[in-house]
Amino acid sequence: MDTFKNSIIIALVFSVAPVSLVAAEEPSVEQRSELLKKIQEVNSQYTELLDKVDAIDEKRRQLELLMYQVDDLQQYRGGMDVSGESPQAMEVATERKKELEEQNKSIPDLPRISSEVGGVLSPKGRLTVEPSLQFLYSSVNRLAIEGFTVLPALLVGVIDVVEADRNSYMAGLTFRYGVTDRLEMELKGSYVYREDQTRSREFLTGSLNESIYTARGQGLGDLEFGLRYQFKRRKLTSPYIVGNLRVKSDTGSDPFEIAVESTLQELPRYTSELPTGSGFWSVNPSLTFIYPSDPVVFFGNIGYLWTMEDDKGTSLDADGNIVGFGMVDPGDAIRMSFGIGLGLNERSSFSVSYSLDQFTKSWIETAVNQEIDGSDVTIGKLLIGYSLRLGNGTPLNLAVGIGTTDDAPDTDLTFRMPFGFGGH
């Protein structure tokens, strides 16, 4: 920069040299006055140029400061030492640091489609109360044939056609609290009402009468606890990563303690009461990945559901035979989901995703075949989520699930409306 200033001085000296040489021959009053005026103009121009050079130098240092921040990720997190820079550079660096820190810790807002995907973490000190309503419907059609064939087209025996309609209603209340800006605690309770209606008809027995069995169950469901933690992003092009840990209790009624209604052959086939819980404790760790790419957001989740085995009890009947279930392991599951979210405008967003749960076989201690055939089910579901923010900022979330496998519920509707208190 000093070389640049010296070159300006040399250029200015040569610009006034002809005037000085002319004035050295026979200086007159007019020439002297004109020479002084030229020198004053040159001095004024030189002062203006120096001011512009200083301004350019100031802009250069600010640009280098911001470029250095882009190259060094650590400077995004800790800020730079700009104590020796100008007040303008310090202001730019401080504003940029705050902006990037806020961007680094905030997750894009997605419609909440499950406990692991959607919504944002509660800020430190903020309590969120979220009432929810959920409806599940599934229908099962089963054809059972018991008999033998005399000819390829002639069947002798019983054909049993069973149709079951299952409806479940759940009212939930979830509390979430921001321990820090990156750590959130959650507690969820629910009240469950279930109703199953089963129709059975036997053909080839001389009767076309339908047998209808209705079962109901209501009460508190399983209590759930959860933690969510957002990891720091290594760089701005990295996805957001959130670690989830959910623990489900067995506070709901146990399906292994529910009485069953017997047929005339005294074989338990249809339950007269339905459980409101699973009867087992379970732990579900998972990771959620969120990658914003304007104007859409890609997200996914992968986890493992570990269900703890439990002793459901045994006893001896009058003949000394062991009855009951003994130790029962309902099986674990690998869970995964992926999808895409789109912000429709400043107040609403939309998402489409697919979830798949693969369960292992159940194991019952007292069963003849301890590994239960057909219990390794696959539950696939297409999820469509929508979120709308009201004028006061309260979001309304609606998620629609459509079953894509035989074992999944046909329809799943969930409505959530969270309210926030405190925090910043």
25 or 308: which leads in pLDDT: 308
For residues 353 and 295, state if they share a domain. yes
For residues 204 and 269, state if they share a domain. yes
In a domain, 143, yes or no: no
For residues 74 and 198, state if they share a domain. no
For residues 386 and 414, give the distance between their C-alpha atoms in angstroms, rounded to a whole number: 11
Helices then strands (H, E): number in the chain?
A: 4, 21
Q: What is the CATH number of the domain that holds 175?
A: 2.40.160.40
For residues 215 and 322, state if they share a domain. yes
Q: For 182-193, how does the pLDDT look when each residue is reduced to its tens digit (9 = 90+)?
A: 899 999 999 999
For residues 80 and 179, state if they share a domain. no
pTM comes to 0.68
For residues 177 and 95, state if they share a domain. no
Buried/exposed code over 204-232 (b: 16+ C-beta within 10 A; e: otherwise) = eeeeeeeeebebebeeebbbbebebebee
- High-pLDDT (> 90) share of the chain, %: 34
For residues 175 and 254, give the distance between their C-alpha atoms in angstroms, rounded to a whole number: 25
In a domain, 159, yes or no: no
Cβ–Cβ < 8 Å for 424, 135: no
In a domain, 371, yes or no: yes
For residues 132 and 57, state if they share a domain. no
48-52, 197-201, 377-381, 385-389: which has the minimum mean pLDDT?
197-201
Residue from 293, 173, 290, 166 nearest 223 by CA: 173
Domain count, the chain: 2
In a domain, 153, yes or no: no
For residues 184 and 268, state if they share a domain. yes
Domain that holds residue 39: 2-103
pLDDT score of 148 more than 60: no
For residues 357 and 286, give the distance between their C-alpha atoms in angstroms, rounded to a whole number: 13
In a domain, 263, yes or no: yes
For residues 86 and 130, state if they share a domain. no
In a domain, 235, yes or no: yes
pLDDT score of 203 more than 60: no
5-9, 134-138, 172-176: which has the minimum mean pLDDT?
5-9
In a domain, 155, yes or no: no
For residues 72 and 116, state if they share a domain. no
Buried/exposed code over 312-336 (b: 16+ C-beta within 10 A; e: otherwise) = beeeeeeeeeeebeeebbbbbbebe
In a domain, 142, yes or no: no
For residues 98 and 187, state if they share a domain. no
For residues 89 and 201, state if they share a domain. no
17-31, 53-67, 256-270: which has the minimum mean pLDDT?
256-270
